[in-house]
Copies of this chain bind each other. A is one copy, B any other.
Amino acid sequence: MISVNPTPKEDAVQDVETEGRTPRKRRAILAAATEVFLQHGYLGASMDEVAAKAGVSKQTVYKQFENKERLFAEIVGGTSDQLMDGLQQAYDDTLDGAVDAREALRALAYRLLQSLTADNVLQLRRLVIAEADRFPEVCGAWFTNGFEQSLDALGKALTRLTERGLLRQLDDPTLAAYQFAGLVMYKPMNRAMFAGTRQRPKPGELETLADQAANVFLAAYGSERPAS
């Protein structure tokens, strides 16, 4: 679930009950706006709908956010950290304690497939892609700070596998990470992007994809049978 961090990192998590009125409203607006933007896109989203869905007046929206663009930027910007944390967690969970490379890669692949084909993740991707030309700063930053960094992190995790003898030496760990991601995600991600929110993958399909991706990756990078 993608949500947005409304209060810039406080030390102590304040109780929702005792939280001031204004930040509570701000949270509601961000949540509502996220929903509306993801569903209708930037131009299709109306500030009236955002206000209504947040249970708040338009005035309040404009008090918290200068205009529609800023609200959009806030939402998109707020998601990359979250997404990255989730992926980093996935790498740590599946790779860092692994004893068998194939099993670990398979587990990682499956977990990536599951988390990245969640509806709201897909909608966010579509939104960012759709508005890439209208908001090059915001969307470029999202890509650099979220997408690219998470692939770099995967490269580092793969390097740790190498150091433990589970993979052979990687000349370019980031490239290897992209290749793994491509093996795993290319097919389901494209279908999800183009085919709309319908057309869920068949049960068992994700397992097959994860399996086969791990096989190909290990054929090239596995330590047992070093390639050329």
Q: Which residue of B lies closest to A128 (CB)?
A: B194
Interface of A (DSSP majority class): helix
Q: How far is the CB of A82 from chain B (nearest CB, A)?
A: 17
Contact of A132 among B186, B196, B217 (CB under 8 A): B196
The CA of A130 and the CA of B133, in the complex, are separated in Å by 12
Contact of A186 among B129, B178, B212, B227 (CB under 8 A): B178
Count class of interface residues, chain A: 35 or more
Residues of B within 8 A of A178 (CB): 186-187
Extra A-B contacts (6), CB below 8 Å, given A126-B129, A139-B196: A136-B195, A175-B187, A182-B184, A216-B216, A219-B227, A220-B220
Give this chain's copy count: 2
Interface membership of A197, Cβ < 8 A: yes
Q: Considering the complex of A and B, which 3 residue pairs feature the smallest CB-CB distances, nearest first? A: A182-B186, A130-B130, A182-B182
Among the stretches A55-63, A91-99, A140-148, the one at the interface with B is A140-148
Residues A52-98 near B (CB distance < 8 A): none
Residues of B within 8 A of A187 (CB): 175, 178, 182
Most chain B CB within 10 A, of A41, A134, A184, is at A41
Q: How far is the CB of A190 from chain B (nearest CB, A)?
A: 6
The CA of A136 and the CA of B140, in the complex, are separated in Å by 27
Q: Mark A165-198, 1 if CB is under 8 A from B, else 0.
A: 0000000100100110111111100110111111
